[in-house]
Amino acid sequence: MSGLTIQFTGLKKQYHNLRQEILNATDEVLRSGQLMNGNHTAEFENWLAKRNRSKYAVTVHSGTCALECIAEYYVDQLTTINHPTVLIPSMTYAATANAFARAGWQIHFVDTDKFGIFDFNKTPDIDRFDALVLVGLYGLGIHDYGNLEKFNQTLRLRNLIVIEDAAQHWLSSGGIRIGQAAAISFDPMKNLNAIGNGGAIVTDDVNLYYFARAWRDNGKDNHVQNGTNSRMSEVDCAVLMIKTHYIDQWQKRREEIATYWRSRLAKTGVRCLINNENARGHGYQKFVIDCDHRDQLQNELKKHKIETRIHYQYPLHELSVFRQYPGPDILSSASALSRRVLSLPFYPELSDLEVEYVVDQVLDCVAEIDSR
């Protein structure tokens, strides 16, 4: 199997499998002349709302735009508070914090647990804050996560605004949402991916729904609020509707791959961030391992033509742009985890042979590194 080359993404394979359907849908949209705000957009938004067991879904240009819209909406709702405060887990992508910083929020970063999830045991007094953002890192199901359950009643009683940055975990837990709003991404790296970019807001709040619809279209129709140009094209929505017919099949394949890799890596020095504690309801967005000598392992796998990535090399509280905000220090769990995690190529188009090859090489490379 030494001749195998495993790319990190399966985008080429996915397009090959769906090529004719995608071309037909693209041709239909382009021939219609309705390139924005058409039936495909409405159809996809309806599907998305139902999938997330929510009343409303509004598509926007990206998951980042979805977060920005939500952040701006709730700032407007908290007009009596100067610089409202929000709790954000430190182990996530910079876009999560960027959206709230740009909208004028005061951020407080919270340390994470061994899975990179918001650790409520390390949270400052919640009464001091106005909102919190939950991130299901790598696809971990927020709704099923035990760390959250004992705090659910407290959060509701204190009227804390709960926002899900659901870019990675929205396909987990049967689509159950627990916050007032959730931001979703259809970035090419996501399980349900657009051709270029895309995102959405899902909510039961009718006021947020109307705010988001106007916000994404420069404040139209009545121009009583500020807005921007942040719409998804009819082509992207049409293609995503094609992919909705396959998403459950793809998710099942991801689960099969993850289950096999977990069994092979059990009782080794490699810890999987998908395990028996959290596999139920997982969104399977990434397959991430926690290991000693992470950088050496990445280099060894590269020699065997296996492409890997690091998500995320530095937690947010260590990034220069965010050091003005309070949060954990370099001895935090998030800092330690960021230096140990490695994302393996993980997509439904991997063949059984490729799946076996990846885990064989991980085990062989780890053993070789340990023996040095």
On whether both 240 and 250 belong to a single domain, the answer is no
Q: Is residue 138 part of a domain?
A: yes
Task: Answer yes or no: is 4 within a domain.
Answer: no
State the pLDDT at residue 173: 83
197, 223, 244 - which closes a domain: 244
pLDDT of residue 78: 86
Based on the fold, state whether residues 86 and 108 are members of the same structural domain: yes
Closest Cα to residue 200, out of 364, 312, 63, 53? 63
* Per-residue model confidence as pLDDT tens digits over 101-135: 999 999 999 999 999 998 888 887 777 899 999 99
One domain for residues 239 and 273: no
In a domain, residue 3? The reply is no
* Per-residue pLDDT, 118: 87
- d(CA 66, CA 228) in angstroms, rounded, equals 12
Per-residue pLDDT tens digits for 132-147: 999 999 999 877 555 5
Q: Are 323 and 101 in contact (CB under 8 A)?
A: no
Are 225 and 122 found together in one domain?
A: yes
The C-alpha atoms of residue 189 and residue 309 are separated, in whole angstroms, by 12
95 and 193 assigned to the same domain: yes
- Other Cβ atoms closer than 10 A to 195: 17
Tens-level pLDDT at each residue, the chain (372 residues): 567 999 999 999 999 999 999 999 999 999 999 999 999 999 999 999 999 999 999 999 999 999 999 999 999 888 767 789 999 999 999 999 999 999 999 999 999 999 999 888 888 777 789 999 999 999 998 775 555 555 565 555 567 899 999 999 999 988 888 889 999 999 999 999 998 899 999 999 999 999 999 999 998 988 888 899 999 999 999 999 999 999 999 999 999 999 999 999 998 989 999 988 888 889 999 999 999 999 999 999 999 999 999 999 999 999 999 999 999 998 999 999 999 999 999 999 999 999 999 999 999 999 999 887
**Rounded to an integer, what distance in angstroms lies between the CA atom of residue 3 and that of residue 41?**
43
Q: Is residue 1 part of a domain?
A: no
In-domain check, residue 254: yes
Give the pLDDT score at 156.
55
Q: Which of 210, 244, 278 is the last residue of a domain?
A: 244
Q: Are residues 299 and 335 in the same domain?
A: yes
CATH number of the domain within which 138 lies: 3.40.640.10
Q: Is residue 296 part of a domain?
A: yes
Do 17 and 134 fall within a single domain? Answer: yes
**pLDDT tens for residues 274-325?**
988 888 889 999 999 999 999 999 999 999 999 999 999 999 999 999 999 9
223 and 366 fall within a common domain: no
54 and 118 co-located in one domain:
yes
Q: Does 310 fall in a domain?
A: yes
What range defines the domain where residue 161 resides? 13-244
Same domain membership, residue 362 and residue 228: no
Q: How far is residue 258 CA from its own chain's centroid?
A: 18
Portion of the chain with pLDDT greater than 70, in percent: 95
Q: What is the CATH number of the domain that holds 346?
A: 3.90.1150.10
Residue 366 near residue 297 (C-beta atoms within 8 A): yes
* Structural domain contains residue 331: yes
In the chain, the N- to C-terminal Cα span, in Å, equals: 25
Residues 316 and 171 both lie in one domain: no
In order, the DSSP letters of 257-321 are: HHHHHHHHHTTSS-EESS-TTT-TT-----EEEE-TTHHHHHHHHHHTTB--B-TTSS-GGGSGG
Query: What is the structure's pLDDT at 158?
Result: 65
Q: Which of 244, 275, 307 is the last residue of a domain?
A: 244
Same domain, 84 and 230: yes
pLDDT value of residue 221: 85
